């Protein structure tokens, strides 16, 4: 299946499925009582993906470094344990870290790589770069919205199905369970799951990772409004919003918000006028943090049994290997 999920339209009024989905998400998330919310999916146009890439290199943003170090240490063991003929990766992005694993797999024989991502532009660049860097690798990119479809159509088996970067943490527990269950149904006996999960730790370390000194995360957060302005013809005034990220200890999750600094009326063609009041906020992302017990329980609810648990040096990050429960 190839479609460009975030390239919503060339004309503001064109009723593409992606535009219809975006309008529905905006209607459900912003035109409601209580906490307003947008799915993090809409951060990731070409600019948002570039900003995220910049975030991964920030001093404060430890998850990417920690996960890369884990992959460098354990890639051979993971390749040995799972012996895959294919590696499908949900939310693959630039697949920078994935190369470590792909090299370890290629050392054992031919491997097919199926990066799955909503951002078609980044995926094109990822596929091109990988074909250059690893000519023996068969690359079969899939542009898809993981909220609708997580199937790795055309994958060889045994398949290692990966979900790195703690992207699973962007889903609350019911949504993460539903996602794992749909991944589970696309797997066959002998296939395995690899999930990168950020772990509970000192609040200061967690909050610093989402409030960097250079303001890149702030720009990334505001990018969702740029995307809505461009794709829907909305008129969110960016200067009326401020980035805020806080750790909620009770829910063990970072919440990223855009705080509304002054009353404003935003026109969203196709829906209507949105009245925003100073002091309220739009929640734009959650990032759940785990420990071994909560990760085991989440995987079990999704139809998987945890088989290996690799943890990095502090600030701690984990790689979970799991097998589908028969
Ligand atoms: C936090 S980044 C992680 C990227 C990479 N896996 C890493 O570990 O650095 C999330 C990735 O998921 C993709 N993404 C976000 N929402 C998505 C959705 N609904 N469906 C598919 N991909 C999505 C983004 O384009 C982005 O590449």
Mean pLDDT by 10 residues, the chain (326 residues): 43 73 97 97 93 96 98 98 96 95 97 94 94 97 94 96 97 98 96 98 98 98 98 98 98 98 97 98 98 98 98 98 95
What's the token pair of residue 222?
A: 């505001």
> Shortest CA distance to 104 belongs to which of 71, 152, 140?
71
**pLDDT tens digits, one per residue of 78-107:** 999 999 999 999 999 999 999 999 999 999
Which atom of ligand 1 is closest in space to residue 6's alpha carbon?
25
**Beta-carbon contacts of residue 276 (< 8 Å; ≥ 6 apart):** 240, 260, 263, 264, 265, 266
* Ligand 1 in reach of 87 Cβ (< 6 A): no
> What local confidence, expressed as pLDDT, does residue 9 receive?
45
Q: 61, 93, 129, 318: which to mutate for ligand 1, most atoms within 8 A of CB?
A: 93
> Shortest CA distance to 209 belongs to which of 94, 92, 289, 122?
289
CATH of 62-201+290-324, one of 3.40.50.720, 1.10.3720.10, 3.40.190.10, 3.40.50.150: 3.40.50.150
**Domain extents in the chain:** 62-201+290-324
* Ligand 1 in reach of 117 Cβ (< 6 A): yes
The 3-state DSSP class for residue 130 equals: helix
* Ligand 1 in reach of 52 Cβ (< 6 A): yes
Calpha distance 123→129 (Å, rounded): 10
> Shortest CA distance to 55 belongs to which of 199, 221, 169, 180?
221
**Beta-carbon contacts of residue 218 (< 8 Å; ≥ 6 apart):** 242, 243
282-304: b or e for each residue (b if 16 or more CB lie within 10 Å)? Answer: bbbbbbbbbeeebbbebbeebbb
> What local confidence, expressed as pLDDT, does residue 16 receive?
85
191-222: b or e for each residue (b if 16 or more CB lie within 10 Å)? Answer: bbbbbbbbbbbeeeebebbbbbeeebbbbbbb
Q: Are 217 and 210 in contact (CB under 8 A)?
A: yes
**pLDDT tens digits, one per residue of 277-296:** 999 999 999 999 999 999 99
**Beta-carbon contacts of residue 67 (< 8 Å; ≥ 6 apart):** 97, 164, 165, 166, 196, 312, 317, 319
Which atom of ligand 1 is closest in space to residue 93's alpha carbon?
27
CA gyration radius, the chain: 20
> What local confidence, expressed as pLDDT, does residue 13 receive?
56
**Beta-carbon contacts of residue 242 (< 8 Å; ≥ 6 apart):** 218, 258, 259, 261
- Let me know if 95 is exposed, middle or buried by CB neighbors in 10 A (0-12, 13-18, 19+): buried
Q: Backbone phi, then psi, for 143, in 5-degree steps?
A: -90, 115
């Amino acid at each position: 299946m190839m479609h460009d999920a975030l390239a919503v339209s060339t004309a503001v009024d064109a009723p593409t499925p992606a535009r219809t989905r975006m309008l529905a998400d905006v209607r459900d998330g912003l035109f409601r009582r209580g906490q307003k919310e947008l799915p993090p999916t809409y951060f990731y146009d070409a600019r948002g993906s570039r900003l995220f890439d910049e975030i991964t290199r920030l001093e404060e943003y430890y998850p990417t470094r920690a996960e890369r170090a884990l992959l460098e240490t354990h890639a051979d063991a993971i390749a040995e344990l799972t012996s895959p003929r294919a590696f499908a990766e949900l939310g693959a992005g630039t697949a920078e870290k994935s190369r470590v694993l792909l090299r370890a797999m290629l050392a054992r024989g031919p491997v097919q790589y199926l990066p799955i991502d909503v951002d078609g532009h980044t995926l094109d660049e990822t596929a091109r770069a990988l074909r250059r860097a690893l000519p023996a690798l068969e690359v079969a990119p899939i542009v898809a919205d993981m909220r609708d479809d997580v199937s790795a159509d055309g994958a060889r088996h045994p398949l290692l199905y990966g979900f790195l970067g703690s992207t699973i943490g962007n889903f609350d527990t019911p949504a993460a369970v539903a996602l794992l269950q749909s991944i589970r149904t696309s797997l066959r006996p002998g296939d395995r799951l690899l999930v990168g999960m950020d772990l509970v730790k000192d609040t200061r370390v967690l909050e610093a990772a989402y409030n960097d000194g250079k303001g890149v995360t702030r720009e990334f957060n505001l990018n969702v409004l740029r995307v809505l302005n461009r794709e829907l013809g909305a008129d969110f005034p960016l200067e009326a919003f401020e980035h805020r990220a806080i750790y909620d200890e009770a829910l063990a999750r970072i919440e990223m918000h855009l705080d509304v600094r002054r009353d404003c009326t935003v026109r969203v063609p196709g829906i209507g006028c949105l009245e925003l009041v100073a002091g309220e906020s739009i929640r734009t992302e959650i990032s759940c943090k785990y420990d071994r017990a909560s990760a085991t329980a989440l995987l079990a609810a999704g139809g998987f049994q945890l088989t290996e648990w690799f943890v990095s040096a502090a600030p701690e990050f984990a790689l979970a290997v799991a097998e589908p429960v028969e």
